[in-house]
Amino acid sequence: MNQNEGLKSDLARVRGLGSAKSGTGHWVGMHYTSLALVPLGVWFAFSMFICIGTADYAAARAWFQSPINSALMILFILVGAHHAVSGLQVVVEDYIHAPFCKHAKIIGTRFLFAALAVLATLSVLKIFLGL
């Protein structure tokens, strides 16, 4: 402990030095999403690389007419976005130390992925409903 801080209260001394008590939730979120992404990711990779990644417009739209494909795709979008945001957050926290820059990047990533995930979910619904 720095001797020059003798006049500070105990709370002022420790504030900002330790756990923010939010790490467990992040770890559990990463754990659950990665568990879910094992089957979802395998399904998606198989579909994307083998079936629809090189499909033309009509074939790709027909693929989304299946309720199973559309449902799994929406699940993949939501779980994948959560996993990507949490993973990128760790990378940003590890390499970017300026507080403003760090929080701006974390919040910006969250907003971007949330917006894109909603947009893509609506797109899947639009194709599924044949609109």
Partner 1 sequence: MTSVLSILHRLSGVVLSAGFVLVLGWVVALAYGPNAYGYVYGFIQTVWGKIFLSGFAAAFFYHLAAGVRHLLWDAGWGFKLPQVYATGTVVLVFASLATAVVAIRIWGLA
- Contact residues toward partner 1 (CB under 8 A) are 31, 34-35, 37-38, 41-42, 45, 48-50, 53-54, 56-57, 60-61, 64, 73, 77, 80-81, 84, 87-88, 91, 113, 116-117, 119-120, 122-124, 126-127
Q: Which is nearer to partner 1, 14 or 104 (CB)?
A: 104
- SS3 assignment for the chain: CCHHHCCCCHHHHHCCCCCCCCHHHHHHHHHHHHHHHHHHHHHHHHHHHHHHCCCCHHHHHHHHCCHHHHHHHHHHHHHHHHHHHHHHHHHHHHHCCCHHHHHHHHHHHHHHHHHHHHHHHHHHHHHHCCC
- Of the two residues 87 and 106, which places its CB atom closer to partner 1 in the complex? 87
Which residue, 14 or 119, has its beta carbon nearer to partner 1? 119
Cβ 43 to partner 1 shortest distance, Å: 12
Q: How far is the CB of 103 from partner 1 (least distance, A)?
A: 19
Q: Are 45 and 70 in contact (CB under 8 A)?
A: no
Rounded to the nearest whole angstrom, what is the least distance from the CB of residue 26 to partner 1 in the complex?
13
75 vs 88 by CB, closer to partner 1: 88
Look up residue 110 and give its amino acid: R
